[in-house]
Chain A
């Protein structure tokens, strides 16, 4: 249904002009023209380059969502992956011709015309690049309204910030749903009455303490804590949802059951020790290291053993003075931008050994940028007494 009156004779005449012979050409000629709607706003289309794997994901009907952020641009998310979306430009014209066909090489017969309409011409398309989930914002968002216990359900209290449900988080945080789920676990977030919240620190410690006290009162072994019985008793103290999730964050299932068929859980030593250390570290600017180590060991339940590796990314040891000192320095309080993070680290301390700095940059690493690559790019290495140290690139 061409709008152009073009005949086989016209086409043949042009073949002749172009010094082509009909013999060397297949009998079907496709005549190209702009569609009647060409250039209309309703016809506006976006082209996006996708790899074949992503294309098959799309075709399976999996959910695909663009998540935009005013500062960070746009990402595309599948159920479990995040891609950065960028606009690419080309100096070539990309001409879309929906009906255009590749004729079979052995077709013969009289010359025939097929009309093909160009629906749009593009000079830009979207490019996708796999990227890390941008979950830094999650912490920031959850910190707007940490949960501090059932007494806060009083709705008249407007002093606190917004609470976020699952879809609210997806509106703000640029990552896939699976990645968001993982990030919420990493941040120890709780699903409370439909909202995702982190526990206010003192409250979190209170809830964990309930568990520890129960274990002590019942004289249970630390690796034989019955799930149902505990949750039943603890739910009288704090909301059940909080107790259940806290239990699962600080205890791990074993394959065993007690005689009444209740699943047995074991205390996660490292997490409990770390939490106890955090309580101590938060309450003072600085500790003498030896004193700290002894108070810390006394603060954890009997049967648990503290060790320095439990404090990675939480505390800094200063060995420069006459006595070693330790202070609170959580990685969660540092900027999430790579350059800003390094600036902050080198402001805090001029020189870092690899063991010291690793926990503070681990979360910035990517598949192609491991710790070493980050250090090469953002730090300067020097050696002193046989130990390699890293300092700021522009440090004196």
Chain B
């Protein structure tokens, strides 16, 4: 069986990736959509600084030796022409490359807690 990979017109779009140790979890088991995660700053030296909740992380910008392509699976409509001589139905699925990731912000160190000098709701 064969699944073609297509690159869409905006496939040359470049996305960015954050690489974090561990996992991003919500303290309440609610849906993540629309939830705020944190603030990302860059120092004047170009070091990314990420503040998530009560944690601060210092990272660095890395060029990836091997880029990532980001694909989504597309179920094409049946109105597409059926290729002759072929009986496998799987052909109406394809992977579409939406974007390429060439750089990432990597946060290798464990997050440091922020000890609030004045206790406030953060």
**B35 is contacted by which of A17, A34, A47, A68 (Cβ under 8 Å)?**
A34
- Residue numbers in A under 8 Å from B42 (CB-CB): 25-26, 28, 102-103, 105
> Inside 8 A of A58's CB, which chain B residues have their CB?
5, 7, 11, 69, 97
A-B interface pairs (CB < 8 A), number: 202
Q: Which residues of B contact A43 (CB under 8 A)?
A: 72
* B residues neighboring A (CB under 8 Å): 1-5, 7, 11-13, 15-24, 31-46, 49-51, 56, 61, 66-73, 83, 85-86, 88, 95, 97-101, 103-105, 114, 116-117, 120, 122
Closest residue of chain A to B86 (Cβ to Cβ) is A167
Q: Does A45 lie within 8 Å of B98, measured CB to CB?
A: yes
**A97 and B16 form a contact (CB under 8 A):** yes
- Asked if A6 CB lies within 8 Å of chain B CBs, one says yes
CA distance A94 to B105 in the complex (A): 10
- Taking CB atoms, residues of chain B closer than 8 Å to A13 are 120
Number of interface residues of A (CB under 8 A): 72
Report if A343 contacts B (CB, 8 A): no
* CB-defined contacts of A52 to chain B, threshold 8 Å: 66-67
Q: Does A344 contact B (CB under 8 A)?
A: no
Q: Report the bound CA distance from A171 to B91 in whole Å.
A: 10
Least CB distance from B92 to A in Å reads: 14
A168 within 8 A of partner (CB): yes
Contact residues in B for A194 (Cβ distance below 8 Å): 85
Q: Which chain A residue lies CB-closest to B66?
A: A49
Q: Contact: B44 with A64, CB < 8 Å?
A: no
Known: A38-B32, A50-B66. A17 touches B117 (CB 8 A): yes
| A305 contacts B by Cβ under 8 Å | no
B32 near A96 with CB under 8 A, answer no
Q: Give the residues in chain B near A19, CB-CB below 8 Å.
A: 114, 117
The CA-CA distance from A201 to B7 in the complex, in Å, is 45
Q: Are B72 and A46 within 8 A (Cβ)?
A: yes
